[in-house]
Structure 1
Amino acid sequence: MNRDELTYNRDGEGTGERLDRHWNELLQELRLVQTGTQILFAFLLGIAFQNQFHTTDGFTHAVYAATLIAAALAVALLLAPVAFHRFLYRKGMRDSLVTITDRLARGGMVFLVAAICGGVLIALDVVLPRPAAIAVVAAVLLWFATFWLALPAYIRSRSDIRA
């Protein structure tokens, strides 16, 4: 019997079982964001090769560069758990694997939001006056913060159940 399996929580779930469950939940969440992030990154790569892009101003080029970098960093962080798992596979380090990959996923999501907002700003800057485009992107960022941070924090604070 593994030493991880000797500790049980109030639901009768052993530490090893809990870590496996957390790992599987994290993998499911990553599957959702990895594909979309990679598609966004590929789309952003193509923008620089459009003829019209070269006629845009410095602001658009700066937003594009920051957005492309944010997307690349998001891809790296959201794919990192795969590499991390390969290095730690069967090393008895599930606790580290789950903890660190959770942090990698959180970081990847931060960069994903930045890339999404940057992409929206690039697109809206073409069809709206720049101040309006920036205001809309600020609202989009607030929308993400509300549903990704504020609402879960509110629900968690109201709950007596701790994972």
Structure 2
Amino acid sequence: MTDDGRVKGETRDERLTRNWNELLQELRVAQTGVQILTAFLLTVPFTERFEDLSDGQELVYLAVLSGSVAATALLVAPVAMHRALFRQGQRPWLVRAAHRCASVGLAALAITVSGVLWLVFDVVIGPTWAWWAFAASALLFGSLWIALPLLNHRARSRVS
């Protein structure tokens, strides 16, 4: 494999197919998690303790529910786009659009999970710890999903 992720001797169509298949594998993992999170969030208003939430907590709940639905839409969109464009020769566009949807969907998922953590901490032990939990969660996602890959990219760039 070359530094730009291409396999030697691979045609453009073969690369697009490989990229599409790799993206689908990644989306399978993310889709499952975000769908479970969304399903859980949809049940929360029907629990007894939901009535105990303050107005601010209810707004945060609605924000994280909306974020979860948005993440679900973005992470499932590549499948729907593929189905709509099946056998129409749109693979290059589809791979680019699916990559963008997946990237934005993962960002929405990270923000949503951090928001859910904020809400749980706020309900259980109060706002100060909720903000610490939110910050720690956001830092964890940012470190693993953004900083670590960037560090790897920079290290590889210096070697070549």
Considering the TM-score relative to the shorter chain, is it more than 0.5? Answer: yes
Equivalent residue, structure 1, for 2:111: 114
- Encode CA deviations 1:18-44: one digit per residue, 9 max, x unaligned: 000000000000000101100100100
Residue correspondences, number: 153
Q: Does 1:103 align with 2:100?
A: yes
Moved more, 119-128 or 72-81: 119-128
Q: What amino acid maps onto 1:115 in structure 2?
A: T
Equivalent residue, structure 2, for 1:78: 75
Q: Is the 8 A contact 2:60 2:119 kept in 1?
A: yes
Shift of 1:133: 1.4
Q: Does 1:16 align with 2:24?
A: no
Moved more, 127-136 or 18-27: 127-136
Point out 4+ residue stretches in structure 1 off by more than 3 angstroms.
Answer: none
Equivalent residue, structure 1, for 2:57: 60
Unaligned runs of 5+ in 1: 1-8
Shift of 1:145: 0.2
Equivalent residue, structure 2, for 1:36: 33
Unaligned runs of 5+ in 2: 1-5
Q: Equivalent of 2:142, from 138, 145, 148? A: 145
The secondary structure found in structure 2 opposite 1:41 is helix
Equivalent residue, structure 2, for 1:123: 120
- Encode CA deviations 1:100-153: one digit per residue, 9 max, x unaligned: 000011111111112111111121112222111111111110110001001101
- Encode CA deviations 1:51-80: one digit per residue, 9 max, x unaligned: 211121112111101000000000001110
CA distance in 1, matches of 2:17, 2:7: 17
The secondary structure found in structure 2 opposite 1:48 is helix
The secondary structure found in structure 2 opposite 1:30 is helix
The secondary structure found in structure 2 opposite 1:13 is coil
The secondary structure found in structure 1 opposite 2:46 is coil
Identity among equivalent positions (%) equals 42
CA distance in 1, matches of 2:14, 2:32: 28
